[in-house]
Amino acid sequence: MPKFAHQYWQIIALLIGVLYTLAFAPFNYAYLAPISLSLLFFSWQNTSPNLSFLIGYFFGIGSFGLGISWVYISLHDYGGANSLTACFISLLCVLFWGVFPGMAGYISAKTQLNRNAKVSAISLPVVWILVEYLRGELVLNGFPWLQIAYAQLDSPLAGYIPVVGAYGTGLIVALTASGVVCIAQMPKYRIQLLVILISTWGLGAALKTVEWTQTQGDPLKISLLQGNLTQDQKWLPENKAKTLLWYKTATEAHWDSALIIWPETAVPAYLSEVNDGFIQPLNLEAQQHHATVVVSLPIKGEAVDERFNAVMTLGEESGIYKKRHLLPFGEYLPLQPLSGFVLNRLSIKLRQFTAGELTQPLLKASGYAFITTICYEDAFGQIGLINIDKAAFLINVTNDAWFGDSIEPHQHLQLARMRALETGRYLLRATNTGVTAIVDAKGKIVQQAPLFKTTVLTNYIAPMTGLTPYARLGDKPTIIVLIALFFMLIWLTKQANKAIRNNKLADAL
């Protein structure tokens, strides 16, 4: 780290972290992602492991402090926690996830990969993305929020997303940040580095024009229902009949659509409670109008404690999908029994669900199979690839009412758009209070509903066929290459250090 910044590194790292988060929705200053990361990489060079960790940690506190500020709203406004408790838990979340940027800095310094400018130009991006993968896929069931690739959905680098996915594209963004550092530090190679960066971004722009998938059949008319019932009102018994009536009436007004989609848990009751009097009559109506209605509601399993967050299709092609990837602390409690004990002491009660099987038959509408995800399942690329070769489009049902008028619904839509671009398929996203949207096969928003407005979006989509390179291969090749590069760089660094020691010994003799 530069000498002038030593005494101010905490503030500088915090500010860089905030700058990083401004690259994401709803701010969308995409180019701040590589800029802020280049500043972080620059600060990590030739620093000790402990200092590298602290710089990265304060960067993480800055980025997550702004980026997941909505945790407070969820806990305080809708989770029943008082202000002090909500602040305390929100702070713990920020402090916990802030560890991961610090971990990237520590690993780089501990393995001495930050000692040589040429080595760090590759090693720092590699370590950064490996730590992103750890955070996004493995720890506490995964938390991919603020991963660097998501900020590039509208930049030239978006062309790489259907080819190498979020982690491969993230590596290219991180390498760009490293390249900027090298340009500043190595004037001798400035022209060559500029040519490489311009070529990389130019290739990304060219890849955006490639049509990886193709349309099949006639366009489908679809309608997405946004009932706009706030979380504090949704499950009140006195609102149940009113809610069901609105969705039924809105559905009946759009029987000319081939597909009508309701948001997550739009039905505020278990299936067993509403099946005979509401679901089955609606199912018969859907059959009569040759339409498919996608409804979402909780379902009780055969065991006493089994509850599933589920989606049903009503009409001529009926089926059930049970959510596979559950939200930690929202739908299940990890770190038991500690987490349950703590939340009970804080008087925060959370409903626990059971995860559905990883491989389930695809639901169908108008003869086309589709990929179904519920809520934040759309944040995980690998989930959407299961049977993707058989799917013509993607459907995500979500309830972001938990987070009020915050930045979270916009961030969540940004995550969902990545899945459309990765797979080359339209995404139909129905949410309770917003943001309901239709996203095309290039990840572009075709139509979007405003937040907190009762709305029905109606439009046409094209069923798609074919596979993008990413849909064929997934994340495994990228992660394998990153791991191999990491260990190769460590070996090369050790060999270089050994040679330096031998030379010094020879000089001394």
Residue 480 in contact with residue 466, Cβ under 8 Å? no
Q: Which residues are catalytic?
A: 264, 323, 375
Report phi then psi at 310, rounded to 5: -135, 165
Residue 29 is which amino acid?
Y
Cis bond upstream, residue 195 (ω within 30)? no
Q: Which secondary-structure segment (H or E) carries 294? A: strand 292-300
Element (H, E) at 392: strand 391-398
CB of 266 within 8 A of CB of 296? yes
Tally of CA atoms within 13 A in the half-sphere of 166 that contains its CB? 27
Report the b/e string of 59-77 with b at 16+ CB within 10 A: bbbbbbbbbbbbbbbbbbb
What stretch of H or E contains 414? Answer: helix 408-423
**Taking the CA of residue 303 as centre, how many other CA atoms within 13 Å lie in the half-sphere pointing to its CB?**
6
Within 8 A by CB and 6+ apart from 83, the residues are 76
Q: Are 454 and 430 in contact (CB under 8 A)?
A: no
How far is the C-alpha of 200 from the C-alpha of 34, rounded, in Å?
14
| Token pair for 336 | 């038991």
> Distance between CA 373 and CA 420 in Å, rounded?
12
φ, ψ dihedrals at 413, nearest 5°: -60, -40
What's at 216, amino acid-wise?
A: Q
Instruction: State the DSSP H helix or E strand holding residue 310, giving kind and residue range, or none if neither.
Output: strand 307-314
What percent of the residues of the chain are helix, what percent strand, and what percent coil, each to the nearest 5? 55, 15, 30
Which residues is 308 bridged to in the sheet? 299
Asked if 73 contacts 403 with a C-beta cutoff of 8 angstroms, the reply is: yes
Identify the residue whose tokens are 């997941």.
68
